[in-house]
Amino acid sequence: MLVAIEPTPALDRSEVEVCGFGRVSLPADDPSALQRVPPALRRAALEQADAMMLASDDAQVRAAALLLGARAGGADAHARIESVARLAIASQDATVYAIALQACKAQSADGSACQLLSRAQWARLDPDNALPWLELAAEAQAQQQASELEADAMRHAALAQRSDVHMGLLPQLVERALGAASPLQRTLALAESWSAQAAWTSAHSTQAYAYCMSDTADDGTRAATCDALADTLARRGASLTDMGTGLAIAKHLNWTAQRLQALQQEHDAISETSGIQDFGQDWSCDAVTRLQDWTRQLAQHGEVQAMRGVLAHSGRSVEQWSAQHRKNIAVAMAATEAATSVAPGEAVP
């Protein structure tokens, strides 16, 4: 629960609030309010938050702390990656394993505990999630292993009950751990965790798209796998990226116009409404509270389902949001076309 903060008077246009710190002046050429917090205070608050997470009884929280600390690039970055890899090796927790695999992408596995991690083990720990199977397929393709290995991984992905890309995972774990933290510690730790989450990399969508965009007309087995995979990603995927990939595969497979239209409208509507979720620049206490609420929704439902809730409470239909999205895309494309058609030296109207 947030510690109560006394309301502050309306801010000048040149000032913004950082929750737990107070007002800061914001130069026109520096939109990052958090950078205005004195470095020593910022460092101390993050170190205290890190210590709380590392002391947690929750292995997922400790793994997140190790990943966040490694990403910060301190002198102990390598040791932290080694620690989270060893934590995963000794764990049967699929989330801990996913965090460790992500951390290990930041360094060479040669001679490290990262060598002992495998996507095959991750898939065994989380068999109903399409994500590890798709990453296993991507690994097989990248290493030019037998095509049967890639195809088998794709079949498992197609039969998965969900596609959980761990969106919002790191902020969720920060939120879980810092119930007793000060407002400034929580604000800075949430900011760091969202930054790290944005850098979370996965080859799953690219691999699914590449696999299913190849010629499936003469390969009934691949076509059937991709049909099921499109359904899994479009209807049970947790992210908008998954939905978009599933939709692209469905179009390639010539799904019926009715099915495609329904998927396209929902995809466009969610794309449009996602723009109203304005996080990342405002770090006032009100904004942090909204961010915490959104983090909980992502953790519980995933991005797509959370955005469906936004749609349901928006007062506008899916069809209206979809039409607005198409209109905005058309306007943007027309503006781009007009700009590129201007002759050198000619003023843009």
> In angstroms, rounded to a whole number, what is the distance separating the alpha carbons of residues 239 and 97?
20
Long-range contacts of 3-10 (CB under 8 A, 24+ apart): 3/182, 3/183, 5/183, 5/285
The answer, yes or no, to whether residue 267 has pLDDT greater than 60, is: yes
Residue with the larger pLDDT of the pair 122 and 180: 122
pLDDT score of 285:
92
C-beta separation of 17 from 25 below 8 A = no
C-beta separation of 52 from 64 below 8 A = no
pLDDT per residue as tens digits for the range 203-214: 677 888 989 987
> In angstroms, rounded to a whole number, what is the distance separating the alpha carbons of residues 259 and 257?
6
The answer, yes or no, to whether residue 6 has pLDDT greater than 50, is: no
By the 10 Å C-beta count (0-12 exposed, 13-18 middle, 19+ buried), 196 is classed as: buried
> In angstroms, rounded to a whole number, what is the distance separating the alpha carbons of residues 123 and 149?
13
Nearest 10 degrees: Cα torsion 83, 88, 91, 96? 110
> In angstroms, rounded to a whole number, what is the distance separating the alpha carbons of residues 141 and 147?
7
Task: Please report, in angstroms and rounded to a whole number, the separation of the first and last CA atoms in the chain.
Answer: 53
pLDDT score of 281:
75
C-beta separation of 64 from 193 below 8 A = yes
Mean predicted confidence (pLDDT) in 137-143: 85
pLDDT score of 299:
83
What residue has token string 């299913």? 212
pLDDT per residue as tens digits for the range 166-205: 888 999 999 999 988 999 999 999 999 999 998 886 667 7
pLDDT per residue as tens digits for the range 105-114: 877 656 689 9
What predicted TM-score, i.e. pTM, was given to this entire model?
0.85
Q: What is the H or E stretch that residue 38 is in?
A: none
Domain extents for the chain?
Answer: 15-117+167-200
The phi-psi region of residue 163 (left if phi > 0; otherwise alpha if psi is between -120 and 50; otherwise beta) is: beta
Q: How confident is the model at residue 104 (pLDDT cuts 50, 70, 90)?
A: very high
The phi-psi region of residue 32 (left if phi > 0; otherwise alpha if psi is between -120 and 50; otherwise beta) is: beta
